[in-house]
Amino acid sequence: MTDFAATRARFHIPEGIVYLDGNSLGPMPLAAEARVARMLRAEWGEMLITGWNRAGWMDQPRRVGDRIARLIGAPPGSVVMGDTLSIKVWQALAAALRLNPGRKVILSDTGNFPSDLYMADGLVKLLGDGHALRTVAPEDVAGAIDESVAVLMLTEVDYRTGRLHDMAALTARAHAAGALTVWDLAHSAGAIEVDVTAAGADFAVGCTYKYLNSGPGGPAFIHVAPRHADAALPALSGWLGHEAPFAFDPDYRPGRGVERMRVGTPPVIQLAALEAALDVWDTVDMADVRARSIELSQAFIAGVEAGCPGLDLASPRDPAARGSQVSFRHPDGYAIMQALIARGVIGDFRAPDILRFGLTPLYIGAEDVARAVEVLAGVMANRAWDRPEYHRRAAVT
């Protein structure tokens, strides 16, 4: 049984704050400070260039990838770290299109995170020659998978509503139609139980700064199913994906397996922070996390619906159809969220009218949920959001 009191003690949560935005940026694991300080002084400072060998920086993207692999049901050696999620989405799409020549359509849904759609759009425009991105409503995806589709690209958990796609069923349907799949696990990894192997996913990508708590701008990950790993060609063919980077060959030869998806120099300082976060994840059973997340989410929904008239549930009511966040709609959602944040309850807002709350068992408990409900009820009862300063939009919402 995962000890959530112990995991909670391993994070820095500011005094007086209920943090329900770990679905956007996870809080700092306390050990990140010492781990990063050691990386700076004992590794970079003292080892200098020899750190690439002596501190193991060069292999770190693979070693850390193996620790992520456990959380998403991927076998060791099938996940590698680097770049940002947008870049990894693009790499997976470009590789999948080449594995499925003769077809030119990327199918996605309108609930996908915009950057995934933008990256896909950039790719099909670059390729030209009839390549296209087709998007349908999330509920229409299954019916839209036909024999024209080269790649089905979906984010498993909707970033606004938390609505969960059925990865195994949609992947099976895609495969039956001769399409490959690229799954974005941004709101899945560390949030719900994921089994990319059982689902038969061809490619999976994700970020680490949300549920995985690696800090702002932590590196992304990419998983390539072992059956594709030595055939998938990295269109972004950087030297660290080369079979022998330090041979400095004039010609590119893709490296073995998923390591070919590496591009440039790995962000070693960010990786150190991620390692500290994974030390916490290593103590955790995802089934326990999922069960507790549902418990907290159900309590939150019940509390808000009982105490906060005017807020409409935007997330699926069935916990099995939802990730680890709960969203509500309100026309004044932005201002309400500012009023909440001013009172120490941090969630976030997504245009046009969504208030998002992440329920993250590693550092959120029943008492936090109760307090969030109480504060939200107070804000709603007194129309506390109805002040000009709460309506002023910040650059980042």
Residues 197-236 that bind its own copies (CB under 8 A): 207, 209, 215-220, 234-236
Taking the complex as a whole, the smallest distance from the CB of residue 240 to its own copies amounts, in Å, to 8
Applying CB under 8 A, the span of 146-154, 195-203, 265-273, 361-369 interacting with its own copies comes to 265-273
Instruction: Check binding of 126 to its own copies (CB under 8 A).
Output: yes
- Torsion-angle region of residue 282: left (phi > 0), alpha (psi -120 to 50) or beta? alpha
Catalytic residues: 113, 184, 209-210, 356
Would you call 213 helix, strand, or coil by DSSP? coil
The least CB distance from residue 302 to its own copies, in Å, is 25
Closest C-alpha among 118, 273, 282 to residue 208: 273
Using the rule CB under 8 A, is 17 a contact of its own copies?
Answer: yes
Which x/- pattern over 274-313 shows residues binding its own copies (rule: CB under 8 A)?
----------------------------------------
Task: Please report how close the Cβ of residue 351 comes to its own copies at its closest, in angstroms.
Answer: 6
Contact 151, 106 (CB under 8 A): yes
CA atoms within 13 A on the CB side of 10: 22
Closer residue to its own copies (CB): 171 or 324: 324
Give 369's contacts (C-beta < 8 A, 6+ positions apart): 296, 299, 300, 303, 359
Return the C-alpha torsion angle 169, 315, 223, 233, nearest 10.
Answer: 80
283 near 2, Cβ under 8 Å? yes
Treating both helix axes as pointing N-terminal to C-terminal, what angle do 60-72 and 268-281 enclose, rounded to 10 degrees? 30
**Count of residues touching its own copies (by CB under 8 A):** 91
Q: Which of 64, 170, 271, 289 binds its own copies (CB under 8 A)?
A: 271
For residue 33, state whether it binds its own copies (rule: CB under 8 A).
Answer: yes
What is the residue-wise DSSP string for 122-148? HHHHHH-TT-EEEEE-GGGHHHH--TT
Confirm or reject binding of residue 269 to its own copies (CB under 8 A).
Answer: yes
* Closer to its own copies by Cβ: residue 264 or 309: 264
Q: Are 79 and 72 in contact (CB under 8 A)?
A: yes
Is 268 a residue that touches its own copies (CB under 8 A)? yes
Contact status: 4 vs its own copies (CB under 8 A) = no
Give residue 362's identity as a one-letter amino acid code.
L
Cβ-based neighbour number of residue 103 at 10 Å: 18
Instruction: Choose, by CB under 8 A, the member of 102, 147, 251, 388 that binds its own copies.
Output: 251
Q: Which of 68, 92, 105, 117 binds its own copies (CB under 8 A)?
A: 117
Q: Which of 27/323 has CB closer to its own copies?
A: 27
What residues numbered 39-58 form the site for its own copies, per CB under 8 A? Answer: 40-41, 44-46, 48-53, 57-58
Rg (CA), the chain: 21
Nearer to its own copies, 17 or 321 (CB): 17
Q: Which of 6, 9, 231, 247 is in the footprint of its own copies by CB under 8 A? A: 247
Strand, coil or helix: what is 179? coil
The smaller minimum CB distance to its own copies, of residues 199 and 273, is found at: 273
List 18, 68, 71, 85, residue binding its own copies (CB under 8 A): 85
